[in-house]
Amino acid sequence: MGKEWVLERDGEVLEVLPAWFFKVKLKDVDTLVRCKKSWRMSQSNISIITWDRVKLEINQYDMSQWRIVFRYNDYKVWHINTPTINSHPWTHYVKK
């Protein structure tokens, strides 16, 4: 449950700008906003690249400062092609 005085929106990162700013397109409306990573994401070393889907927050008292508070994990099922625990990583290269 979010805070009552904070508005949340989803968006997509279009461009990485200098000084850890990002140009984000909001999902609901076709609006471009400039935002920064939240302090907690910076401390956790969460990287954001172009085309990532993110959750944005804006304070209703200062509508010019957007911040990214969450990065959605949209990557496909990455564990399908990883080797199992008992198999050697180069097993598929060895001829039998």
Percentage with pLDDT > 90 across the chain = 44
The lowest-confidence range among 5-19, 26-40, 71-85 is: 71-85
Given pLDDT bands bounded at 50, 70 and 90, which one contains residue 21? very high
More confident residue, 48 or 6: 48
Domain locations in the chain?
6-78
In this prediction, residue 71 carries a pLDDT of 93
pTM of the model: 0.70
For residue 8, the cross-strand partners are 57
Selection from 23, 17, 8 nearest residue 70 by Cα: 8
Which class would CATH give 6-78? mainly beta
Question: Is 23 within 8 Å of 17 (Cβ atoms)?
Answer: yes
Other C-beta atoms closer than 10 Å to the C-beta of 38 total 16
Q: Return d(Cα 66, Cα 10) in angstroms, integer.
A: 12
> Diameter of the chain by CA atoms?
68
